[in-house]
Amino acid sequence: MLLHKKLCKRLILLFMTFWLSGCAPVTENNLIEEISPVTFLSISKGDKGKLKVSTIMPPLSKENKFVMSQEVSLLKEGVQKYNFNFYQEIKSGQMRMLVISDELGKDGIMSIINVLLTDPDISPRIYLVLVKGNFDEYLESQLDKDENFDYSFYRMLKHYEEKNQGELTVVNLHQFKHLLYTPYSDPFLPVFKIEEDGVNYEGTALFKDDKLVETISSLDERIFQLINNDHYLKVLPIPEFEIVLGHVRSKIIVDIDSSYSTMTYTVNIDTRIEEYRGEKQLFDPQQLENMKKDIETHLEKQTYELVKKMQELKVDPLQLGIQTKRPFSKPMEEKKWIEMFEKMDIKIKYNINIDPLTDANSKRPNL
Amino acid sequence: MMMGTHQLFKKNETYNGLYAMLLVNRLQMLYFFLIMPNILINPYMIWVLIAVGLLSQLNLLLLSKWLLTRLSSNGYNGFVQLFGKKLVRFLSFIGLFFILLKISVITLGFSEIVQTFILPSTDTNFLVFFILLLCFYVAGRGVEHTIRFVLISFFCTFWMITFFVFFVFPPIAQLSDLYPLIPMEWKVENWKAVFLILSSYSGPEFLVFLGPWLKTNNKTFRYLSYGNALTVVEYVFLFIASLFYFGSNFLSKTQYPIINMGRYLQNPVFERIDIMMLSFLLFNLVFAVSLFLLLFYGASKIAFGKMSKPTSGKGLLFSVFLIFIGMVLVNELFWKSWEKQNFLLNLQIIAGSISYFLVPLVIVLVMKKEGVKKHAST
């Protein structure tokens, strides 16, 4: 008993010596007053191949906020430069978004993605966003009006990610990486455009490997949401027919023939008419049927052109190549697939199921 | 804290089949399962996981045969009866290296993960020191309490697997990630994967030395099998989940797949679920290392012919100290550089496979030769 007490004391002494002698095993200081856990980084192209890294500081304390930006050749060097410049140390554990300029996207963002993946502090759930226009300038102008701009932007992305609401593309780091490194697939990101009234969602940026090649917007973007991202759209306006379809749900059937020369892409849609300003009497089953045919042809044409564009750009964000994988045969090489995909004959087929208008006046008052 | 250390190997009570089951299961879920998908890579390895799991079942059958004999419950004397005094001394001397290698790999591997994800600026030697300090405390309570600790270790770690259910449902799960289901070509690296699997299932062979503390009867094999089956399910489930999450192509690039998957989980209260997971996994590590420490101490007593002397806390402390020095050396010389770490990993993969394969087999063969008969204990 006496021995054990002695031993215990000695161990505690040994333990204390380590701590007091400066051999403290933990050298990171995470005192909340002394760190600034940044919520986002914005990266754009600087001069001579450098990167321009900006963020809003300080993210936490109630001091005057300002936009800090540095031109550096390496991303982490930017973080270091912040530390040299500001009394609080930057920590990346609370990072929620990475805003990348579209010019940088065109050059390729593989190295940036790898930096994020390597840092265990950075969550694989951070959102990646592409921005057209000068984001830094916009941030400066926002500081007086809306101090928590970064937070509300994050909330917006989070809101649309959560239940796959089918309004905007929201991509996090893991998803981007997954599409980037998996064969037969190419990544995509949401694109926001800086305009006078604020940051507007524009559409989806398609990447070939890690390079931005095309931005799709308006109806193409809606179709992309419908056939790939969420398989659901809250509203689908088709101005050509003065109609708005609501709560559009889609089911996709992809069929590639055995020689890999033709692909039949069938989209089955369930929807209802949300708004109509045209001349047709949609209560008449015949007219509704005509309307349906018109929309089907229109969407088929649009989708065909969208897929055609992907074929020309040799990008496959729809992961069509996965359809060629079989449980008991060797998967083909990605290069071979892309070559085949380029030449493939694509047939698009839409089957739309529209609920007739209900609870509305059967006759338009002005008729 | 060191109360009763002079009775480290005292036997007051025996543990029933449930403990045997948990011992098998937790000794198989130590460190390798954290890095396993990174080496298995190909979806068809699922079948190998299951096949080796069945093989492991056979091993357990042999093991249970030994555990059912009267000799096994006699501990050291039983082994002397079976092999003779000199051979036992020699074998325990060799065993020291196996135990040291196993402790080193699991502790260093684990502390490196902790360093990567939780304490990036901390030297791993410090982590090893603290882990061993904890293990010394647990081991100091004696074999009985250490075996009982498996219950805590199990309940601290088992539920973690339920987190991963998230990964086997869409949108993350795509069936095509599991294709091709059969191997189209067999590479040399695949053999490494096979041995890794074999080595991962190793651990239960240490149960041969725990005979005195296990209550054995005709149901023992059944319980051992349950433990093993649970491990097979866990391995296969985690591997499939990681295939869904990373895809076969990226798996080879991620060093700690299971922990990285934990980082993707989100919870409104805890943001870093990986940190929480690792902290709880520490219980399992401490349990296993404490058990190995006791075995190491016991084996060194046998190897150096000190069986007549009573066990003491000082002796245990001395062997822990030796292990600590050994581990720091291994850390500095091997573990910290990537290629040499791989060498050490390969060594443990082979050593684990050999010990798991040979220990029960040799014992049963010798038993047959010596004509040792089963006894039905109650």
The residue type of B167 is F
- For chain A, positions 320-359, list CB contacts with chain B under 8 A: 322, 325-331
Interchain contact, A327 vs B178, CB within 8 Å: yes
- For chain B, positions 172-191, list CB contacts with chain A under 8 A: 174, 176, 178-182, 184-185
Q: Which residues contact B9 (CB under 8 A, 6 or more apart)?
A: B75, B142, B143, B294, B298, B311
3-state secondary structure of B328: helix
Q: Is A28 on the interface with B (CB under 8 A)?
A: yes
CA dist., res. A67 & res. A144, Å (int): 11
Interchain contact, B247 vs A182, CB within 8 Å: yes
Minimum distance, in Å, between the CA of residue A13 and any CA atom of chain B:
13
| Chain A residues with CB-CB distance to B246 below 8 A | 178
Residue A100 Cα distances to A52, A97, B248, B315, B333, angstroms: 10, 10, 28, 61, 43
Interchain contact, A327 vs B317, CB within 8 Å: no
**Within a domain: residue B315?**
yes
β-strand pairing of A198-208 with A188-195: antiparallel
**Within a domain: residue B377?**
no
ipTM entry: 0.87
**Within a domain: residue B175?**
yes
CA dist., res. A230 & res. A161, Å (int): 10
pLDDT value of residue B111 = 93
Q: Is B312 on the interface with A (CB under 8 A)?
A: no
CA dist., res. A86 & res. A80, Å (int): 10
Mean pLDDT of A234-240: 89
Maximal C-alpha separation, chain B:
64
| Chain A residues with CB-CB distance to B120 below 8 A | 28, 120
DSSP state letters, A288-311: HHHHHHHHHHHHHHHHHHHHHHHH
pLDDT value of residue A47 = 86
**Within a domain: residue B3?**
no
| Residue whose C-alpha is closest to residue B358's, from B198, B188, B147 | B198
Q: pLDDT tens, position by position, for chain B (378 residues)? A: 334 445 788 888 888 889 999 999 999 999 999 999 999 999 999 999 999 999 999 999 999 999 998 888 888 888 998 898 999 999 999 999 999 999 999 999 999 999 999 888 888 999 999 999 999 999 998 899 999 999 999 999 999 999 999 999 888 888 888 888 888 888 888 999 999 999 999 999 999 999 889 988 888 999 999 999 999 999 999 999 999 999 888 898 898 999 999 999 988 888 889 999 999 999 999 999 999 999 999 999 999 988 888 888 888 999 999 999 999 999 999 998 888 899 999 999 999 999 999 999 999 999 888 887 665 443
Chain A CA closest to residue B2: A4
Peptide bond before residue B120 is cis, with ω within 30 degrees of 0: no
Q: Which residues pair with A91 in a beta bridge?
A: A37
**What number of residues does chain B have?**
378
Instruction: Choose the mutation target among B179, B243, B252, B273 for the interface with A, i.e. most A CBs under 10 Å.
Output: B179
- Nearest neighbour of B116 by CB, restricted to A18, A120, A178: A120
**B209 touches B359 (CB < 8 A):** no
Whether pLDDT at A297 is above 70:
yes
**What number of residues does chain A have?**
367
pLDDT tens digits along A172-231: 999 999 999 888 889 999 999 998 888 899 999 999 989 999 999 888 998 998 888 778
**Within a domain: residue B229?**
yes
Q: Is A76 on the interface with B (CB under 8 A)?
A: no
Interchain contact, A328 vs B263, CB within 8 Å: no
**Within a domain: residue B142?**
yes
The owner of tokens 């917007």 is A217
**Average of per-residue pLDDT values in chain A:** 86
pLDDT value of residue B5 = 42
Interchain contact, B249 vs A181, CB within 8 Å: yes
Interchain contact, A8 vs B2, CB within 8 Å: yes
Q: Is A4 on the interface with B (CB under 8 A)?
A: yes
Interchain contact, B176 vs A325, CB within 8 Å: yes
Chain B CA closest to residue A162: B266
Q: Is B348 on the interface with A (CB under 8 A)?
A: no
A13 vs B52 pLDDT, higher one: B52
Q: Is B250 on the interface with A (CB under 8 A)?
A: yes
| Chain A residues with CB-CB distance to B317 below 8 A | 7
- Band of pLDDT at residue A18, cut at 50, 70 and 90: low
Interchain contact, A327 vs B271, CB within 8 Å: no
| Chain B residues with CB-CB distance to A11 below 8 A | 133
CA dist., res. B207 & res. B63, Å (int): 8
A70-84, A332-346, B288-302: which has the highest mean pLDDT?
Answer: B288-302
Minimum distance, in Å, between the CA of residue B109 and any CA atom of chain A:
17
- Nearest neighbour of B122 by CB, restricted to A3, A25, A325: A25
The residue type of B152 is I
**Within a domain: residue B378?**
no
Domains and CATH numbers, chain A: 34-216 (no CATH), 231-325+332-362 (3.30.300.210)
- The radius of gyration computed from the CA coordinates of chain A, to the nearest angstrom, equals 27
Burial string for A29-43 (b: 16+ CB within 10 Å, else e) reads eeeeeebbbbbbbbb
- Supply the CATH number for residue B200's domain: 1.10.4160.10
**Within a domain: residue B5?**
no
| Chain A residues with CB-CB distance to B310 below 8 A | none
The residue type of B278 is L
| Chain B residues with CB-CB distance to A120 below 8 A | 116-117, 120, 263, 274
CA dist., res. B58 & res. A187, Å (int): 47
pLDDT value of residue A24 = 54
Range of the domain at B249: 14-181+191-370
Burial string for A148-159 (b: 16+ CB within 10 Å, else e) reads ebbeebbebbee
pLDDT value of residue B63 = 92
CA dist., res. B66 & res. B85, Å (int): 19
Interchain contact, B133 vs A178, CB within 8 Å: no
CA dihedral sign, ordered B319, B320, B324, B325: negative
- For chain A, positions 116-135, list CB contacts with chain B under 8 A: 120, 123-125
| Chain B residues with CB-CB distance to A4 below 8 A | 1-3, 5, 313
Q: What's the number of domains chain B is made of?
A: 1
Chain A CA closest to residue B4: A1
- Band of pLDDT at residue A361, cut at 50, 70 and 90: low
Q: Which residues pair with A359 in a beta bridge?
A: none
- The radius of gyration computed from the CA coordinates of chain B, to the nearest angstrom, equals 21
